[in-house]
Amino acid sequence: MRTRLLLLLVAGAVLALAVVPQAGGQSLWGVNGPTATVAQLTGPPFGACAYPTGPGIGGFFYALPWACPSAGPFPPGGMMGDVAVDMFMDTVWVTDGFSVTEYTKAGAVVNSFANPLPLPLTGLGWSALPGAVAAGVLWLTDGFLAAAVIPPPAPGCVAPAFFVPPFPLIATPPPATDIDYDAGSGTLFLTSAVGLIANELVGGGVGPFGVFPPPCFAGVFLDGIAVDKSAGMTLYATDGVTIARMLFGGAPAAPTFYTTVPCFPWAGIVPLSGLAFDATPISYGAGANPGAVPPPPVAGTVGQATSPNPTFALTLAGAMPGGLAYLFVGTGAPCPAPLFFACPILVAPIPLIVGPIPVPVAGGFTIPAAIPAGFGGFGLSAYLQWIVARPLPLGGYQTTQALEMTLAAP
């Protein structure tokens, strides 16, 4: 009964921060065709404390053999290639224009199918399947047509089913180079080779936000777009070298914990082909384990902070067995971080502390913290850090790095 109560308290701890209106994004994925790599970016780190950790936080080589054709390298500077993130399955999709392939974030292939449109794919996006809590669709464009498909069951290798049949792009100046879906407006956003962003109705037609240039760069080839699904009416676009964050319509977006400036350079291999948004909480700061040899423990999550996400969970790893763990849930990220027994406290103010939770022999645990529907899409943020009271005879405390989590509407 006590364990069940702790699980409910942790879930409540995360959701209690839904009263904190601090909008922000999380991270972005991009693909480089010549090297067949995808990279995950956060940051850029900013200020005296260099929050958040980054800019590079992950990535992998994707041109791997599979049971059927899968994504491979593609040439730079062209139309083909893109990346998308399945926010429910927490996987990454990559296309080289001919195959569409799904990977774990560790880079293992799990699914692949052939392009169902007439021309090579230039853009790839993802959105939740309406009314579902664990299923989504992939949006595709070959530059002139757009469609949405339901991927086949893994390992794929068969044609996908169309959720939205192919339709001609009317609002987008041809050819379109990338695509993403905004659930709030129920419309699509596409970049074009002539440097414009278009809001397109599903089925074709000019959407309510029209056609507009991005800030930071104008009149240049655009090759990637991603809707910031944690902020609402905000998106990213890239010319392959620089990323711009803007409001729908093209005005620069206000600074956030994650994107402190409206324009910043891509930190991975350029040229970048395509963008995708990821709502996994991001790290900042450093943990501590004063006077002890092992490195500090590590805070993490399972899955993305989407509303809903019934399988979302919080993790602690590398803590001292026999200790007592406390989850500090804060409304901000102090800089400089105040010290607590020589350990930096990276969240403040702290309206909620959950615990104590005994640390098992394994040095960590996973605690379910399901996120129900109705909390996403408002840019609501929480700051999380584990503090562990070490057992005697060592005593004292150890702390993890901190996590910033912004709820997203998939």
Q: Give 348-390 pLDDT, tens digit per residue.
A: 999 999 999 999 999 999 999 998 887 655 567 899 999 999 9
Whichever domain contains 292, its CATH number is 2.60.40
- Residue 367 counted as domain residue: yes
Query: Residue 8 above 50 pLDDT?
Result: no
Alpha-carbon distance of 41 to 236, in angstroms, equals 13
* Residues belonging to the chain: 410
Are residue 205 and residue 108 in the same domain, yes or no?
Answer: yes
Q: What is the mean pLDDT of residues 304-318?
A: 93
Token reading at 222:
């655009």
Query: Residue 25 above 70 pLDDT?
Result: no
The DSSP secondary-structure symbol of 372 reads -
- Please classify residue 133 by burial: count the beta carbons closer than 10 Å to its beta carbon, then call 0-12 exposed, 13-18 middle and 19+ buried: middle
- Residue 184 counted as domain residue: yes
- Residue 115 counted as domain residue: yes
Are residue 153 and residue 291 in the same domain, yes or no?
Answer: no
Are residue 205 and residue 297 in the same domain, yes or no?
Answer: no
- Residue 22 counted as domain residue: no
Angle at CA of residue 151, ends 179 and 32, nearest 5°: 45
Token reading at 289:
């384990």
Mean pLDDT, the chain, integer: 89
**Range with the poorest average pLDDT among 277-286, 316-325, 372-381:** 372-381
- Residue 306 counted as domain residue: yes
Are residue 104 and residue 177 in the same domain, yes or no?
Answer: yes
Q: Is 65 helix (H, G, I), strand (E, B) or coil?
A: coil
Indicate the pLDDT class of residue 1, thresholds 50, 70 and 90.
Answer: very low
Are residue 12 and residue 69 in the same domain, yes or no?
Answer: no
Are residue 7 and residue 136 in the same domain, yes or no?
Answer: no
Q: What share of the chain is helix, strand, coil (3-state, %, to 5)?
A: 5, 40, 55
End position of a domain, from candidates 244, 278, 312: 278
Alpha-carbon distance of 34 to 227, in angstroms, equals 25
Whichever domain contains 175, its CATH number is 2.120.10
Query: Residue 33 above 70 pLDDT?
Result: yes
HSE value, Cβ hemisphere, 13 Å, CA-based, for 9: 16
pLDDT at position 202, please?
A: 97
End position of a domain, from candidates 278, 302, 325: 278
Are residue 96 and residue 202 in the same domain, yes or no?
Answer: yes
Alpha-carbon distance of 221 to 313, in angstroms, equals 40
Are residue 89 and residue 229 in the same domain, yes or no?
Answer: yes
pLDDT at position 376, please?
A: 58
Nearest C-alpha neighbor of 281 from the set 405, 408, 105, 410:
405
Q: What is the mean pLDDT of residues 196-202?
A: 97
Are residue 209 and residue 314 in the same domain, yes or no?
Answer: no
Contact 46, 255 (CB under 8 A): no
169 against 20, higher pLDDT: 169
Number of domains in the chain: 2
The strands making up 176-182's β-sheet, listed across from edge to edge, are 176-182, 187-192, 197-201, 206-212
Note the pLDDT tens digit of each residue in 159-192: 999 999 999 999 999 999 999 999 989 999 999 9
Angle at CA of residue 98, ends 92 and 104, nearest 5°: 15
Are residue 267 and residue 309 in the same domain, yes or no?
Answer: no
pLDDT at position 17, please?
A: 38
Which residue do the tokens 């339709």 mark?
167
Nearest C-alpha neighbor of 325 from the set 397, 383, 393, 394:
397
Note the pLDDT tens digit of each residue in 209-266: 999 999 988 778 999 999 999 888 999 999 999 999 999 999 999 888 877 788 899 9
End position of a domain, from candidates 278, 305, 332: 278
Alpha-carbon distance of 125 to 210, in angstroms, equals 19
- Residue 291 counted as domain residue: yes
| Domain range for 54 | 27-278
Contact 83, 94 (CB under 8 A): yes
- Residue 31 counted as domain residue: yes
Contact 390, 323 (CB under 8 A): yes
Query: Residue 14 above 50 pLDDT?
Result: no
Contact 115, 100 (CB under 8 A): yes
CA-CA-CA-CA dihedral for 315, 405, 3, 356, to nearest 10? 80
**Range with the poorest average pLDDT among 31-35, 156-160, 185-189, 305-309:** 305-309
Contact 21, 384 (CB under 8 A): no
pLDDT at position 4, please?
A: 35
Are residue 263 and residue 296 in the same domain, yes or no?
Answer: no
- Residue 21 counted as domain residue: no
Token reading at 201:
């109705």
pLDDT at position 225, please?
A: 97
Token reading at 31:
């693909």
Q: What is the mean pLDDT of residues 312-329?
A: 96
Note the pLDDT tens digit of each residue in 92-139: 999 999 999 999 999 999 999 999 999 999 999 999 987 777 789 999
| CA atoms 313, 319, 323, 327: torsion sign | negative
Note the pLDDT tens digit of each residue in 43-94: 688 889 999 988 888 999 999 999 999 999 999 877 899 999 999 999 999 9
pLDDT at position 342, please?
A: 93
Are residue 252 and residue 295 in the same domain, yes or no?
Answer: no
9 against 159, higher pLDDT: 159
